[in-house]
Structure 1
């Protein structure tokens, strides 16, 4: 009888552990320093949008010397508990210097048992943005908090990060391609090989990258053309343990998928940006297909397409319309060859459509209509899924309208974004993109 009882308990434990390991949560990275003006209701609004996209939680990037961490975190956790949403910390060791070990312990002890704090089993999940030089601190931090530690130490090799002996997994910030070619999963495989079995990998997904913040000595772009949908397909093929979206609200680096919010634009003034390159550059369209992608990632099967829809994104200025603002393509500080930015991005309107079957697409720029094609289609012709394509600007300016039709009937249409123009804000190229949806 005893043996049967213990066998039953063991089976429940193994089932519970397998469910923890197989949950495949998707998180979005949030820069807490941008939301100092947020009340609980502001957090709740963003959480509602994230939950509607099937995002499981926010990763809270916090800087060591940010005096607003206290009220910001209290508001975030109150909102997350109200909305049954998960949060965990990413301790930023670069923004304002390394975190003192004692402060990390205090925060994890204060919030780690909160019902809204994300846990791996019973262990509070903890990450970082960089900080490998402080790896030894995490022996004590883990001992005193029970943390499940999955840092981003992308400045050193994955093998060296594992060799510290303190990590339970790794997160990579390498979410953008080097140069004019599209991204691959080769860097992800490097992490998987180094981690081996028993340690988790968080795979990064990002839609775009452009930053021009002289106060932080930042002014470069990485190729974002076709990145979002290509990367999600790689997630479905690679099957990581977790996914982290970069980011929800990093407007300064143009890879936000959350809503535009005037309360979060202070960075453009404090970092001496030449202009606010997020203004009117909504990225909400990149959330449109997230329920489809996240459902496919978690289930491992093709979800049904319940709503046929379309997404389109483009830069507002042709690449050579104005001065490039000193922006480089790539960044030599990452060991990359710097190129003129116009060699990394294309003057195109990119579009994708979530469809049950093939369709036609056309793009109007200022009333000049081009018939487009879907150059990337779901596996197995005639299948439901995401179709992708693009058309060039062809010297056209004005309002952009992308229309998907089937049998002469409109299936989905994207419009309402800023028109393409050769007139640039402050006479400088805006290398950010607008992304809208039907």
Structure 2
């Protein structure tokens, strides 16, 4: 019997020994951590570890002058934390392609750290894109002995199949749905087929909204149910590795780590500040344990937990900021963002036993929902034109066992623009 901890004892389950360990990592933008102290880096890792995340994939840009200093601090912090692994993810789009020799030198510099993740007895290495450099990797693998799992998603599965012998596995960046449909595992299955038996790293992300005109980025993807829906897909699909996108990419609104103002890209302050996402991590012990054991029946919830998320501004509150639903730059049809961002509260109730869940906006009517089973239950509550602070509770046997409040839904928009980012709260 193994005990897993999240603040208090949250889950108890039996763990069977797997033939190959399963891992969950979070994508960590090193450039956004340039001004973090070693203690702050260590705190991030401790928070991730509490959520059962195994480590960070360190996204590094070759032209960022802070890269080497942050890497040194990160590996040192991970060694202090213990049982927390890191691997390098070379970003070939931000700052341009990496020279082969520098990739080799960087891998060799950190592969001896006790914090370096080894997969099949080799230091694991990944990328963000780099499809123009696919032929570099045989030389990189020879010069480092690394286990290469790149993200070459823009190639597509068929073209990747032609170059898969250059690498050892594959990581897909395709974590968001197009249009209104829920994200499915169809593309994951295509990538698994293309890898022809090599390990597959599956992406999971809770949200996506970006408005950074200096980088020609201003769109959102459907995200309402994405966090809970995608983890259910992980449970059924059982990939070799999972990577969460992301821990600290504030500019794209899919961060699950703490907000550090110095790491927010210029222009993103409007939609990031005041929109914490930390409570999404409270669902991770349940989902990660489900994935790793491949059996929800082994998990007993011992703390009733409410996690809720919504946008602070209803759709009709202000300007859409010229944001599109979907990304036309990627060949997707542009949609009205209001069709993807519905005026609703989304609730995940992790309960010990069947329970009543209550939700209220301002002084409006109380919505009563029924969590019919122990474990995870999900709901949605329309705004219904209401504004004001939000209130939530879990009732069982005529007794309140959990209570939480959230920030006000308001038609007052920063700079007159609707904030398409989510705010996340919990008890």
TM-score with structure 2 setting the length: 0.93
Does the CA contact (< 8 Å) of 2:138 and 2:167 recur in 1?
no
Q: State the distance in 2 between where 1:372 and 1:103 align.
A: 58
Equivalence for 1:209: 208
Q: Distance in 2 between matches of 1:217 and 1:104?
A: 28
Which residue is 1:186 aligned to?
Answer: 186
Residue 90 of structure 1 deviates from its aligned partner by 0.6
Q: Distance in 1 between matches of 2:360 and 2:373?
A: 27
What are the superposed Cα offsets for residues 228-250 of structure 1, whole Å, 9 maximum, x if unpaired? 01111110000000000010000
Counterpart residue number, 2:302: 306
Query: Unpaired segments of 5 or more residues in structure 1?
Result: 1-17
- Alpha-carbon RMSD across the aligned residues, in angstroms, is 1.5
What corresponds to 1:7 in structure 2? none
Query: Counterpart of 1:169?
Result: 169
Which residue is 1:285 aligned to?
279
Partner Cα separation in structure 2 for residue 20 and residue 133 of structure 1: 37
Aligned match of 2:416? 427
Residues 113-144 of structure 1, C-alpha deviation per residue, up to 9 Å, x if partnerless? 21111011321100000001101111100001
Equivalent position of 1:395 in the other structure: 385
User: 1:429: Cα distance to partner?
Assistant: 0.6
- The structural deviation recorded for 1:167 is 1.8
Q: Are 2:405 and 1:411 aligned?
A: no
Greater share of residues in strand: 2
1:331 aligns with 2:327: yes
Unaligned regions of 5+ residues in structure 2, if any? 1-15
Q: Which moved more, 1:425-434 or 1:116-125?
A: 116-125
Structure with higher Rg: it is: 1
Specify the alignment match of 2:134 in structure 1. Answer: 135
- The CA distance in 2 between the partners of 1:179 and 1:300, in whole Å, is 30
Distance of aligned partners of 1:19 and 1:154 in 2 relative to their CA distance in 1, 3 Å threshold: farther
Alignment-derived partner of residue 219 in structure 1? 218
Aligned-pair CA distance for 1:20: 8.6
- Displacement of 1:373 in angstroms is 2.8
Q: Give 3-state SS (helix, strand or coil) of 1:401's partner.
A: strand
CA distance in 1, matches of 2:41, 2:251: 20
Q: Are the counterparts in 2 of residues 161 and 167 from structure 1 also a CA contact under 8 Å?
A: no
Q: How many residues align?
A: 408
| Equivalent-residue separation in structure 2 for 1:412 and 1:24 (angstroms) | 32
Residue 357 of structure 1: how far off its partner (Å): 2.3
TM-score of the aligned structures, taking structure 1 as reference length: 0.91
